[in-house]
Structure 1
């Protein structure tokens, strides 16, 4: 007869964490926990890139006050300000998925590592600290934190594991059958109907709809994005000071035109990332899904090659 070793049983998570982006889905998850509809969280972690829309920071402040009243602390963590870092010639190269125009007229997309550097690595570091095993201490096998991610049913393909033994991702909205529309309805019923999508102001994955929103609702953010777009035209300052050869020009908008010269009000032509609803109606699906960690828009897990805990990845 085979017996089960009681020590091999899963003791459950040592901590329950929420990766809080302060956008629609993660705000819904936090409010569900506040209402007791899902297990509560020990901490909600907001990985701050330093360049979110003003509306996201306002929502974050309101959420923090609301969650604290329900016994859930909201903690901001940060690896720096992505906009300031990218423009600082003393800062190492910041890899954003900028649109590139090559000398021969072809277009491309620069490598994306910003989600890893400004979201994933800080969240891993915070999880280690909260578990009590900061690098280089190894997290013992069987000790882990459960991390809720705000992915809804219409985005189920974005639900990915963390790839770490000490951090296990769960997806409460998928388990409850919430799609984005249900999240919006839920938030509206609770006075959070003005919650906006969380993504960096200058995210190159914005479609025309996203850029219009920034232009019309966040004028300071729009001015920053226009200036940033100009500043990176011939490469990041750090790369330039290091004498790296320029292969083309960089742009924030996929048209490879200066941001303030793009016609954002004319419907986009159908492309692979656009959804055609009828013969004359195009919905711009180019807006970023939000840089939810482990849920990169490319469909591949974001890499974190300089993560000190990489040796602890599950086999």
Structure 2
């Protein structure tokens, strides 16, 4: 239950009986979701889940933002945009989905099965887990990596696209379902950055402050002397977020960044509208560096 368009659709279809009633909906909270996501999640619980008798469980591995800035905390790195000392661009590894989404979900699933870690789950005991993948991203549908979870993709069974989901949610009065991704996700496009800047000054100040704070790597790496060999940024242009060209992509910027039309569209609209645990949409082609704070 990421609280984005597709997962909100699955919950509503289950609640109304179009799909079988699920036993639980699990929301993995990174601690750094947009205010609109938390508000939407509360509304889903109040208006959709509770009336249908579906418990909406909230799980967490901690606060992603705070952990990145805490020198005493091991940090699972975000896919930050890196500018190396020789001018080459790169990205740090994406570990945040595994640490802040998949890990707490698996922990809760094991508890629901009655076999919390480190107990062994008997053969043949498993949950059927619904994942919100629509037809326009069918290639991202994949199996879980453990035997006690079996993924199913009901939207593919229904042959529903994201547009179908939006129309359905609109019919329920949920037209303003937000994009489900961390507030400071480096995969945001310019449109999402503008939306934060223009609609929520406090959240914009938050991400600008975080962007400046991680310029030389995460706090723990810096404290241990493993400084980032380059500079880290939230925005793809690899300039401070407060100065990033988020209002439009000019021809000169496109040429400077060596972007094709498709890549320019990605810069505007983002890699995609969120990060699903078993189908993180943030796949990138840029060279991935060893670690946040240990880049080569």
TM over 0.5: yes
Q: RMSD over aligned Cα, in angstroms? A: 1.8
Q: Aligned to 2:111, which of 129, 150, 155? A: 129
Equivalent pairs counted in the alignment come to 277
2:124 is matched with which residue?
Answer: 142
Q: Tell me if structure 1 keeps the 8 A contact 2:133–2:140.
A: yes
Please give the residue correspondences for 1:6-25 in structure 2 after superposition, counting only pairs within 5 Å.
Answer: 20-25=1-6
Deviation above 6 Å: which 4+ runs of structure 1? none
Q: Tell me if structure 1 keeps the 8 A contact 2:217–2:227.
A: no
Shift of 1:299: 5.2
1:76 partner SS? strand
Q: Aligned to 1:297, which of 276, 281, 285? A: 281
Q: What do residues 75-127 of structure 1 show as CA deviations (whole Å, max 9, x unaligned)?
A: 10000010011011111133100000100011100011000000001111110
Shift of 1:272: 5.8
Q: Tell me if structure 1 keeps the 8 A contact 2:131–2:153.
A: yes
Point out where structure 1 has 5 or more consecutive residues left out of the alignment. 1-19, 301-315
Q: Aligned to 2:7, which of 22, 26, 31? A: 26
Q: What do residues 139-178 of structure 1 show as CA deviations (whole Å, max 9, x unaligned)?
A: 1111100111111110111111102110011111111111
1:6 is matched with which residue?
Answer: none
CA separation of 1:265 and 1:61: change in aligned 2, threshold 3 A = same
2:292 is matched with which residue?
Answer: none
1:47 is matched with which residue?
Answer: 28
Shift of 1:282: 8.5
Q: Which has the larger radius of gyration?
A: 1
Shift of 1:286: 2.2
Shift of 1:274: 2.9
Distance 1:139 1:221 in 2: 42
- Greater helix proportion: 2
1:58 is matched with which residue?
Answer: 39
- Tell me, yes or no, if structure 1 residue 284 matches structure 2 residue 238: no
Please give the residue correspondences for 1:105-124 in structure 2 after superposition, counting only pairs within 5 Å.
Answer: 105-124=87-106
1:164 partner SS? coil
Distance 2:267 2:239 in 1: 21
2:62 is matched with which residue?
Answer: 80
CA separation of 1:181 and 1:128: change in aligned 2, threshold 3 A = same
Q: TM-score, normalised by structure 1?
A: 0.84
Q: TM-score, normalised by structure 2?
A: 0.89
